[in-house]
């Protein structure tokens, strides 16, 4: 994918794709093609349904994948205490970015009933996610954009992420009939409480 920026400020995506994994979205125009037969099939702008678009909300959620995503969140979140113990506070922000990506994905699954997977986020793939988040993510912008200027704000955001994943994760576990990782959450929260009591 290449971006074409015009002097007017308009930007277009220029995609160079292989035939075996052709992925068009929205209204796309074929500018060139080495295969005359394929080029002939695109005489008009191509409109592809959202079901196959890389900007679509993906596939039906797999219960095992969603459950593992929640476990991954808790494992990642558990690492914050080690990083804070070592005085590497700015590194926590990297972990929080990972958590935000998981949280956005969980919110989108909750709101839309579709899973976007783990592809690289783009304006096209994030648009349907962010639109769906407004339906389920309570105070999403407050959670995603919370300040982390000092250790107390880091701790507060860690706990806020945990509370939100616990909330939406339990709803998803019930909806998709998988076991919510209660023991993992309890272990992480107990370790966190112990850490907080020593600092």
Domain presence at residue 178? yes
- 111 and 30 both lie in a single domain: no
pLDDT, residue 24, reads: 55
On whether both 93 and 187 belong to a single domain, the answer is yes
> Which structural domain, as residue segments, surrounds residue 150?
63-198
Q: What is the pLDDT of residue 53?
A: 39
Residue 188 lies in a domain: yes
Q: Is residue 55 part of a domain?
A: no
Residue 21 predicted with pLDDT over 70: no
Q: What is the pLDDT of residues 101-110, one digit of tens each?
A: 999 999 989 9
Q: Looking at the domain assignment, is residue 53 inside a domain?
A: no
DSSP helix/strand/coil, 28: strand
Mean pLDDT over residues 104-123, rounded? 85
What pLDDT sits at residue 19? 65
Question: What distance in Å separates the CA atoms of residue 190 and residue 103, rounded to the nearest whole number?
Answer: 21
Q: What is the pLDDT of residues 128-139, one digit of tens each?
A: 778 877 766 668
Q: Looking at the structure, do residues 75 and 171 belong to the same domain, yes or no? A: yes
Same domain, 78 and 135: yes
Question: So what's the pLDDT on residue 142?
Answer: 87
Q: How many domains does the chain have?
A: 2
Is residue 133 assigned to a domain? yes
**Per-residue pLDDT reduced to its tens digit, 4-15:** 777 777 777 777
Q: What pLDDT does residue 50 have?
A: 37
**Pair 9, 104 in one domain:** no
Pair 124, 54: CB distance under 8 Å = yes
Residues in CB range of 45: below 8 A, 6 or more apart: 27, 28, 29
Q: Does one domain contain both 36 and 67?
A: no
Residues 89 and 166 in one domain: yes
Widest CA span of the chain, in angstroms?
70
Co-location of 36 and 71 in the same domain? no
Do 94 and 115 form a contact (C-beta atoms < 8 A)?
A: no
User: Could you report the per-residue pLDDT of 35-60, keeping only the tens digit for each?
Assistant: 777 766 665 554 443 333 334 457 89
Together in a domain, 97 and 187: yes
């Amino acid at each position: 994918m290449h971006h074409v920026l015009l002097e007017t400020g308009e930007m277009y995506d220029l995609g160079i794709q292989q035939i075996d994994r052709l992925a068009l979205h929205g209204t796309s125009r074929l500018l060139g093609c080495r295969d005359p037969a394929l080029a002939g099939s695109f005489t008009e702008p191509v409109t592809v349904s959202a079901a196959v678009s890389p900007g679509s909300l993906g596939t039906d959620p797999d219960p095992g994948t969603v459950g593992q995503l929640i476990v991954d969140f808790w494992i990642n979140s558990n690492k914050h205490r080690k990083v804070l113990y070592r005085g590497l506070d700015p590194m926590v922000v990297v972990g929080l970015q990972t958590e935000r990506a998981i949280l956005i994905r969980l919110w989108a699954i909750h709101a839309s009933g579709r899973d976007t997977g783990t592809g690289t986020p783009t304006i096209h793939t994030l648009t349907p996610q962010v639109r769906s988040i407004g339906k389920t993510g309570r105070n999403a912008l407050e959670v995603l954009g919370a300040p982390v200027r000092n250790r107390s704000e880091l701790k507060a955001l860690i706990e806020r992420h945990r509370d939100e994943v616990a909330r939406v994760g339990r709803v998803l576990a019930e909806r998709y009939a998988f076991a919510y990782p209660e023991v993992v959450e309890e272990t992480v929260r107990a370790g966190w409480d112990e850490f907080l009591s020593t600092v």
